[in-house]
Each structure stands twice: as structure tokens, then as C-alpha cells.
Chains A and B, each alone.
Chain A
Amino acid sequence: MSQSTGKVLFEMKGIGKTFPGVKALEGVNLTVREGQVHALLGENGAGKSTLIKILSGAYTKDEGQIFLEGKPVEIRNPQDAEAFGISTIYQEFNLARNLTVAENIFLGHLPRKGLSIDWAHVKQRSREILDMLGVTFSVDTPTSSLSVAEQQLVEIAKSLNRKTRLLIMDEPSAVLSEKDLEKLYEVVRSLQARGIGIIYITHRMKEIFLLADEVTVLKDGRYVDTRSIANVTMDELVKLMIGRELKDVYPKRDPAPGDMLLEVKNVSRSKLVHDVSFNLRAGEIVGFAGITGSGRTELVRSIFGADPYSGEMRIAGKPYKPHSPADAIKHGIALVTEDRKAQGLLLKLNVTINTTISGLKQLSRYGVIQLAKELVLVKKFIQELRIKTPGPEFIVVNMSGGNQQKVVLARWLSIGTRIFIMDEPTRGIDIGSKSEIYQIMDDLTKQGVGIIMISSELPEVLGMSDRIMVMREGTIVKELSRAEASEETVMNYAVGSQSGANLAHA
């Protein structure tokens, strides 16, 4: 598997980039060979994004040199990058949603035949590329009707059509469910077999050992080291990345379930959720596992009053019928949304406003916000949750994922939430912030808070949950205790595979 010996494709030496007041990158080296998967590892803010933006022509470097097959080259803009055969697949796809798959694959490069476009060639070539990737959907499918995983494949097809030699993949697995990961790995390996060099960015350590040949670690904009995967352990990588040893990512849970907090009985929601019943006690973390589309997010949105539902719910024994998120919040329920940027944060507003927006009534006297009191509260949370920000006035859009998530947590903590619903609480967050968020979750349960956690990362489900509900096709198919659960059993129930059925009978 190891491709540490192939022909050198791209080489970056001593790359530096300065923004006003910030040295974003300094002395970064990176060598990618033909047919090599080179993982790029680092916490949020380590400089990974800046580096790939330099390679893809979005930024220009201030220092250092880039070599293509040994010859020095300058990448001044995205057109240069494309000419050198560099393609980037960002987390947010660059697809025209209303166009078909074939049109997207050829977007900006539509071949002419006389005065019109050579559609026959477009469709035929698109089909060839999709076949190569082992994809079955039609080239005439509108992109908007594809799943996230399928859209990602269209992005990959796009880059193949441009004769890509170096493919940069920015956290391709972050947007996928467990089920779709195997397909992604398969595709990455097939690209590798075609001699394409791949820079692969991920926060999932397991993936690095599964896919990569070499790994380069960045920290605080500086180059730390490049290692061959054969000669490095996960612990060593974590140490290189965060500069200290991370003993346990997951806190040692010592659950002591208390009073009944939330009872959910026969809750349904049109076609998405069927007849779901479960309960949550004080001090518990109940994990919800399942593949994308299994109805987990839809279920918790109903519990939070964000969407209509039928069925019965009780909080601390009393009937609970939420008609809006405001109702739910009054009952001490909080929802940490799956999509932080689109649903969780007020991105263009500052840390203070984002922190106190749900608790302004408590902070007001005679209908006026006590600004001094508010500032004290916000500063307290910045300190307690170790939120990295220049100050309470800082606009949250410019913060890293981990710190943004802490602002969301601060919002709900500031109003004394008793029931936390966390939908993918650590998605797109680096490992250091992750373990801090796990620690916060553990501390909360010790204070009698109950947590419902949805996660598509099985290690997280297994590491944090006291009980695990596995959902499939809108309903809970199995409840597993912490002791019963393993990645395999959870996955089998989640996809409803034959082996899962066998296990159930065993």
C-alpha cells in the first residue's frame, strides 16, 4: 500500500503567508507523490485551510517555493492551479444545484460543435467518468435531487474531467454518514491507483490509518513533521498535533441516573418519524445512532417544538406540548443544532449577542437589558468554557468551529437548561476542542442535566452514551446498553443488515 517511493508530483518548500497582524503560515513543507494519499493533520486554526487555498490559487504565498515535477511554478490564481492539474473539493460543494450531473461535470468547459454545445460528447464522457467511479445514477439527474454523498461523487467526477493530477479533499468524510464512508474510501483508492496524488484533510484519526500513506502535521501555522503511516501511532499523531498528550478523549463516565426528566411516547411525524418512545433521566447521556435519513434530527426537532408532531410527551411528569422552540426553551430544553452555521449561530453578530439571545428576559429590568450584567455573564462563559476570542464584541463568523460550538453551549448554559439535545455536537471540530466539549457534557450530567446526543461517529456514540438508541427508517429499532454496544452491533442495527438480524437472535 505504501506509496512513499513513487515519482514526486508536487513539492512545497518553506511556504509562508502573512495576513495583517497574523502570521498564518510559516516554513511549511509538503511533498506529494504520484498515487499517494497524503493526510494533512492539525487542529482548527493550524493553517490547513490557508495552505490548500495557496495550492488552489485562492491565496498567493508570501514566502517559499512550489515545484511541479521538479520545476518551480507560481500559482497566482485558480486558473493557474487548474492548468497545473490541481483540483480542490471543499466541504461546501461548488455545484449548480439546478443543473444536471453532466452539466455540472462540464461546467465552464462545455465543448462546442459548430455554434452549439456538443451534448452527445458531454453525456458520453460524463457516463464514462461515473462508470469509472462505480456510480449508477443517470447523468441527466438534476444535482439537487442527489444525496450529499452522491453530490460529492459529482464533485470528484468534475475534477477527473479536468485531468487532475493533484486532488485536495477538505474533510470529505465530515459530511457523510457512516454508511457512505466505505464508498468514499473505495473511490479514493481508485483515484490513487490511477496515479493521482491526493491531499486528504480529516479530523477522523481512524481514516488516516485506513487511507493515508504519509501524514504531515501542522500546528499554529507551523510545520511540525511528516511521517510515514507505517512508522507512527495514533497517540504520537495526537501528541504532534496538539503538542501534549491526550490521555483520554472521552471522559470516564460514571452515570447515576436520577429523576425522570423527559418521557416521549408514540411520537410520530408524517413520513419521517414513526411511533418513537423513550425516556431520559437526570444525569444521563442517551445516544442516538443511525444513518443519515433515519429520522433522528426530525425526531429531536419535534421534541424541541421546531416541527409539528403527534404523540405524547412529559417533562418531570407533567404534560409537555411544545408549539415553538420558545415553548421548549421555557421548559428547560435546548437544541444544539446539527448545522451550526445555518441554524445555530447568528453568524454576522458578535459573541455577546449570540450568547445571551435566548436569555434576554432574565437579563432585563423594566424591559431594558442590563448591559453591564450581560458583559459579566458573557466574560464568565468565555473564561469557563475557554472560548478563544479577542473579546465579547468579536463576530462569530470568524471563529473556529470548536469555539463557535462553545458559544452555542454558553447560550444554553446561561439560561439553566435541564435537557440538552445535541445533534452532532462535535462535527467539524478538532480533537482538542472535541475532548473539551465531551468534558463539558460530562460535567453537565453531574449537575443533573440530561443529554440526548445524536452522532454519526460511532466512536463518539460508544464513548459518550450511557444508553444507545439505534434508529432506522424513522423508528427506534434497538436500545443497547453501554456494555452491549460495539461499533459492529450498532452499525448492523442501523443498516438492518442480515448479520444484525443474526446478532439479535444470538
Chain B
Amino acid sequence: MSAVVSKVTKRRSGVLDILRGSPIMGPFLALIAASIFFATQSDKFLTGANLSLIIQQVIVVGALAIGQTLVILTGGIDLSNGMIMALSSVLMTGFAVTSGLNPILAILAGLLVGIIFGVLNGALITSIGLPPFIVTLGTFNIAYALVRIYTTSTITNLPPAQLFLGNTFSIGGTEITYGSVLLLILYAITWYVLRSTPAGRAVYAVGDNPEAARLAGINTKRVLTGVYTVAAITYGIAGLLLVSRTGVGDPQAGQTGNLDSITAVVLGGTSLLGGRGQILGTLIGALIVGVFRNGLQLMGVGSIYQVLITGILVIVAVSIDYLSHRGK
């Protein structure tokens, strides 16, 4: 009896060992498995046009999730990201359409307001030592209110310069948006910075143990303020991608951006405790959500069931991650 039990235990820990080896191995295998499954269910799934569509569908959450990953790696959380994105996007479109500002300057102004929110988040967290959850819950509401104070109606008739990222080019008959390319470039830059720069290492160190990082000579406050600020830049860019994709400045946007981006981060194998995770995991996490939604849609499953399955996915993914690190 006990021999059987121990054999089973051993085999399970073997599989978990593989998952333990690289934190993005599990999410990557899940993405491949899901893709194979949907390819068998629908002929349309593996077409170039559909894959391009999936990327376009995850582009906004994908951009929000970059900043969210940086914040979570430091052991924090950012609830304000979707609203910072919404504020940036209504301001950049509103300044251009309503105020007649040069479209490019309007974009920069929108990004700048986002950055101010990032600096505010970072300053409140580092100077007073408030928990990130509370600070960003507050700035979430402030940004939401500012959006509605600025406008309650959708901003339309945007200048072409603000829609450029929604334009496409063709590779082998598949239309690809410039926005998709920008997103991939952002991921590549973030990957490089996290892997190969002192700043990237500092992010991991602060997330692993802030006191040990400080005693190793890292200015932890500067790292945290920097992370919330850089994160806000990605939220502003997410706003620009949103505008180019929908063609409007939408005051209703971004309300679930925080939870959607956290979902992508968690599915990508990044630990909410900080210090462990990879940016490519987040891209995979965002794609997993996109692939499931798209694949289920092709199979004719209703959208509310897509949300249901996303919820189950998160719990399964985190359970596997937890089991593979338990007892360490």
C-alpha cells in the first residue's frame, strides 16, 4: 500500500520538476496544447487571418500587462492601470478633436498625464509606505472620475495620425497591424531590460526581499518609483493602441483592465509574492486568454462561458504553480 503511494508521489514530483525548471515552461505548453485542441475543433483556427485577429484582440491587455508584470515582480499590484489607460486615451483624442491640438502633441500630452499618475503611485507607496493595493485603488477611482469629468460621450472623428497603429501591412497574404508589431517590440525591450541591465536586476531583488536589496546597496525607493512610472508609460501606450483599434476615445474603457492584466501575468507564471517571473510568460498568458476566447468563439460557445473558463484557467494555473513550489 505505502509502496504504491510513494511511487505515485514520485512520478508526480517528476512532472512538477520539469515545470519548476523554467517558470514559463508550463504556460508555454498550455498555450501549445490549447492551440492544438482548437485547431482540431475548427478549420479556421490556424489560419493567418485568425492568428492575426487573436493578437489584435489581446493587444490592449497585452500592453497593460507589461506594466503590471513589472509592478508584480516588485511584490506590488497595480489596480489603477486600466483607468490610467482610459484617461490617457480620452485626453489624447479629446485634445486633438475637441481642442484642435496637433494629434502627435495630443498623444504626448495623454501619455504625460499617465506618467504623472505613475509617479503619484510610486511616490505614495515609497514616501508614506502605503500598500500598493490601497494606493492604486485610490488612483483607480481618481482617474475614473477625471475621465468622466472630462467627457461622458465618446470622442469620434479622430485624426489619421492617431489611428496609424491600426493600419496593416501584409506578410504572405496575412494582414498585420503596426500596433501588433509595436506590442512585440515593447515585450522584447522589457525582456532585455529585465535580463541584462542593473535596473532589471534591481526589480527582481526588491521583489525578492526589499531589506536585503537595500543592504546590498540598492536604492529601493528609486526602483519602486521608477517601476510605477515606467508601468504608467505602458498604460499610456495601451491607451494609444486602444484608440487605434476602436477608432474612438471611449470614456467607458479600461474598467476591467486591472483584473484582465493580472490574469495574464498570473497565467504567465509570475508569482504574486514578487521576485519570480518572466515577461515572456506574461505575453504567453495574454495569448492563452486570447486563444481560449477566440477558439471557444469559433466553436460557438457563448461569451459568458468564455469568462467562466478563464476563471477556471486562472485557478488551475496558480494551483499547478503553487504545487510545484511547495515544500521549498
Contact = CB atoms under 8 A, between A and B. Distances in A.
Nearest to A345: B212
Contacts of A369: 196-198, 201
A329 B218 CA distance: 10
Contacts of A272: none
The interface size bin for chain B is 20 to 34
Contact of A397 (B17, B219, B328): B328
B208 A326 contact: no
Given A326-B217, A342-B209, A358-B217, A60 B2 contact: yes
A306 interface: yes
A304 B211 CA distance: 14
B211 A62 contact: no
Interface stretch (B6-14, B134-142, B233-241, B248-256): B6-14
A348 B197 contact: no
Given A62-B6, A369-B196, A335 B215 contact: yes
Contacts, number: 82
B198 A349 contact: no
Contacts of A364: 197-198
Contact of B201 (A74, A342, A357, A397): A357
B275 interface: yes
Given A20-B10, A349-B208, A349-B275, A411 B201 contact: no
A368 interface: yes
B198 A367 contact: yes
B197 A368 contact: yes
A349 B205 contact: yes
B14 to A, nearest CB: 7
Contacts of B214: 306, 324-325
B304 interface: no
A89 interface: no
Nearest to B275: A348
A107 B217 CA distance: 42
Contacts of A328: 217
Contacts of B6: 60, 62
A73 to B, nearest CB: 14
Nearest to B200: A369
Interface residues of A, number: 36
A298 to B, nearest CB: 14
B197 A347 contact: no
A349 B328 contact: no
B17 A20 contact: yes
Contacts of B328: 397-398
Interface in B167-202: 196-198, 201
27 contacts: A20-B13, A60-B2, A324-B219, A325-B214, A325-B215, A325-B216, A326-B219, A342-B209, A342-B211, A343-B209, A343-B212, A343-B215, A346-B208, A346-B209, A346-B275, A348-B275, A349-B275, A356-B201, A357-B217, A357-B218, A358-B216, A360-B198, A360-B201, A364-B197, A369-B201, A397-B328, A411-B216
Interface of A: 20, 60, 62, 74, 76, 304, 306, 324-326, 328-329, 335, 337, 342-349, 353, 356-358, 360-361, 364, 367-369, 371, 397-398, 411
Interface of B: 2, 6, 10, 13-14, 17, 196-198, 201, 204-205, 208-209, 211-219, 275-276, 328
Given A326-B219, A343-B212, 17 more contacts: A20-B13, A60-B6, A304-B215, A326-B217, A326-B218, A328-B217, A343-B209, A346-B204, A347-B208, A348-B208, A349-B205, A349-B208, A353-B201, A357-B218, A361-B198, A369-B197, A371-B196
